Structure 1
Amino acid sequence: MEQERQSENTEKSSSGTANRSPVAESDEDNERAHPDREALTLPSFVAGSGALDRLVDTARDYARAAASENTLKAYAKDWAHFTRWCRMKGAEPLPPSPEMIGLYMADLAAGSGPSPALSVATIDRRLSGLTWNYAQRGFTLDRKNRHIATVLAGIKRKHARPPVQKAAILAEDILAMVATLPFGLRGLRDRAILLLGYAGGLRRSEIVSLDVHKDDTPDSGGWIEIFDQGALLTLNAKTGWREVEIGRGSKEQTCPVHAVEQWLHFARIDFGPVFVGTSRDGKRASETRLNDKHVARLIKRTVMDAGIRSELPEKDRLALFSGHSLRAGLASSAEVDERYVQKQLGHASAEMTRRYQRRRDRFRVNLTKAAGL
């Protein structure tokens, strides 16, 4: 299976590098890798023991499970970036200083040196990451403090832009994308991923986290049950546990349930993750669960191969589609009551579901005519 290579560039100031000892550098790396070590420990007045230490480790595991892995990774990067920025400015990240955080946000919005200015959404997310990290270290960051709230309000007023939505993959698009896939083992897998993700309105993390049965693996995000009428997915999603019903299609070539059955049969998978990698020759399934980035790459590749939005330059086409295009496609294409779409996508409000509907309900209510004009 093709693996995506990632590299991370670490910025260091010359003065900070010169004055930092190997021990301090190791401690900083240790803190970045395990931000919860300081957060969950035994009280100072309690003597440690083997049983208590194991409970601390268990509590840390539960604390990590409070947010998704991707969220925790993002928060860890937010903290690493902020602490590096503080040291470059000759300040310390602890305890929290609203004044310094206000300056930090202003720097992010303005852009400095080779670093481009960040979007309002990214700055807001960075602030959420700092709030979470401070909480894990026993501090409270007051986002309503004037040094933070007024700076953020000014950034939003000056730099806010309408949200950039990914394009929806409509019914005719998904059929064209599926048609580009070969009929080998990888093609069967990728066809099942696209059709299941589209029909279920699933997030890419929900697709790859599926297991064949309940409790097959420790990192499972849900499981799938197949019936004569369709498939029932039980998912541990962002909003909690939910069930997603996926009925059988009108023909086998485009039926998501049939596609999953074909993949599981020919890959000889009866336990563990549903979607796994394959051997280099593509003739054998591995036991390694796919990363959710595979779904994003698969969507972009098949969009290109199918010639969708071919009037646009390649760069624009690649930027236009992502994993969320599947969810937006279902919301935009399914001609059913909005409540059923909301339930399928797992949204808490109808307003959130409407954000995913790219072409429906516009001008459905004409207030101009209703007002007599």
Structure 2
Amino acid sequence: MTDADSLSTASDSPPAVDTRSVDRHLAALGDKARDYARNARSENTQRAYDADWRQFSRWLRRQGFDPLPPDPQTVGLYLAACMEGGRGQEPVSVATLERRLSGICWHYRQLGEPLDTGDRHISTVLAGIRRAHGRPPVQKEAIFADDLRAMLAVLDNDLRGLRDKAMLAIGFAGGLRRSEIVGLDCGPDQSDDGRGWIEIFGRAETAADESATNDGGLLLTINGKTGWREVEIGRGTSPATCPIAMLETWMRLGRIAHGPLFRAIARKNGGVGAERLTDKHVARLVQKTALAAGVRGDLPEGDRKLAFSGHSLRAGLASSAQIEEAHVQRHLGHASAEMTRRYQRKRDRFRVNLTKAAGL
């Protein structure tokens, strides 16, 4: 072989590949893909699905069954066992059972072993359970505007009270889910765990000017359950009930200018921390203030404690706003008008009278 042939052969050979570098890159991509897969579900849903899988796995071990491959007949037996209770556990509701089945199916898909829920051992058992144990959906009580005013009145005017007032008012006026409330940042790209951000337009002084045709407002950009959406919140007629005025007061006195909008407050010195509140705070806040304000005082005390949740604010706006349904649907970010109607507690009850329309 001549020197020229040797050079030609060397130039035609592929460059050496660092397999360790490729493996590290692929491993990093695998970790990122798993993170994206987990983000396909909300944190609450993911926690519930993980708990469902753990409960199902424990049941399988007690019965001596293997989790793989997925066996529809075994899953059907598990569904029946959940409804029977036992071992110190109460029977579950049909809604909880359906959620557990969804969690089991999700985990099997992640394992590359999809579960066939159309198999008769699952579908027939589930249909029988629904027929025997099904109940109308239990809806949380809606918080109406008068209720909200009473709830705001029971809160103090310290930092914690000002923060909670802003959360209740923004949650109601925006028709927001509790995770959307606590997920707000002061601006875009300010945190890794944010669900959206705010923009304030106009000045607070114009809020009380009823002659103003457009006094600005608050624009929320939210990554919600059905994707990205924009929510407009207009200014109120009084600073005492204006959601934006309350938010501006909280931001000014709490010195909130960057990062999470609603944060924890230290118990010792009352200072504002850097940590974002969890969505559970919203649920506890609604329940506590609704009880203190005497909302639905006609209910027994035990029922009142269970009557309210974070969704009560969302349902209250949907039920109170006397505007076209399409506007409410877009504001709440619902994929269908039917879902919006489920939130409108008693708003349209008996408005359409088919008895009279039929001539009786």
Give me the TM-score of the superposition, normalised by structure 2: 0.89
1:171-227 C-alpha deviation (Å, 9 max, x unpaired): 110000000011010011000000000000100000000000101000010000001
In the TM superposition, what are the counterparts of 1:175-324 in structure 2 within 5 Å? 175-228=149-202, 229-281=216-268, 283-324=270-311
Residue 122 of structure 2 corresponds to residue 126 of structure 1: no
Gaps of 5+ in 2: 1-19, 203-215
DSSP-derived class of the 1:283 partner: coil
In the TM superposition, what are the counterparts of 1:109-148 in structure 2 within 5 Å? 109-148=83-122
Counterpart for residue 41 of structure 1: none
Matched length: 328
Cα drift, residue 302 of structure 1: 0.5
DSSP-derived class of the 1:369 partner: helix
Counterpart for residue 350 of structure 1: 337
Residue 63 of structure 2 corresponds to residue 76 of structure 1: no
1:346-369 C-alpha deviation (Å, 9 max, x unpaired): 111111111111121112211111
One-letter amino acid of the counterpart of residue 295, structure 2: I
Counterpart for residue 317 of structure 2: 330
One-letter amino acid of the counterpart of residue 125, structure 1: R
Cα drift, residue 129 of structure 1: 0.5
Cα drift, residue 66 of structure 1: 1.1
Gaps of 5+ in 1: 1-45
- Does structure 2 retain, via aligned residues, the 8 Å contact 1:186–1:282? no
Question: Separation in 1 of the partners of 2:87 and 2:49?
Answer: 24
Give me the TM-score of the superposition, normalised by structure 1: 0.86
Q: Give the direction of change, closer, same or farther, for the CA distance of 1:48–1:92 in structure 2 (3 Å limit).
A: farther
Question: Separation in 1 of the partners of 2:344 and 2:232?
Answer: 20
Cα drift, residue 47 of structure 1: 10
Residue 73 of structure 2 corresponds to residue 86 of structure 1: no
- Does structure 2 retain, via aligned residues, the 8 Å contact 1:276–1:290? yes
Structure showing greater radius of gyration is: 2
Question: Separation in 2 of the partners of 1:283 and 1:166?
Answer: 33
- Does structure 2 retain, via aligned residues, the 8 Å contact 1:99–1:148? yes
Question: Separation in 2 of the partners of 1:369 and 1:313?
Answer: 37
Mean Cα deviation higher: 177-186 or 279-288? 279-288
Cα drift, residue 311 of structure 1: 3.0
One-letter amino acid of the counterpart of residue 210, structure 1: L
- Does structure 2 retain, via aligned residues, the 8 Å contact 1:184–1:282? no
Question: Separation in 1 of the partners of 2:175 and 2:269?
Answer: 28
Question: Separation in 1 of the partners of 2:21 and 2:231?
Answer: 48
- Does structure 2 retain, via aligned residues, the 8 Å contact 1:106–1:151? yes
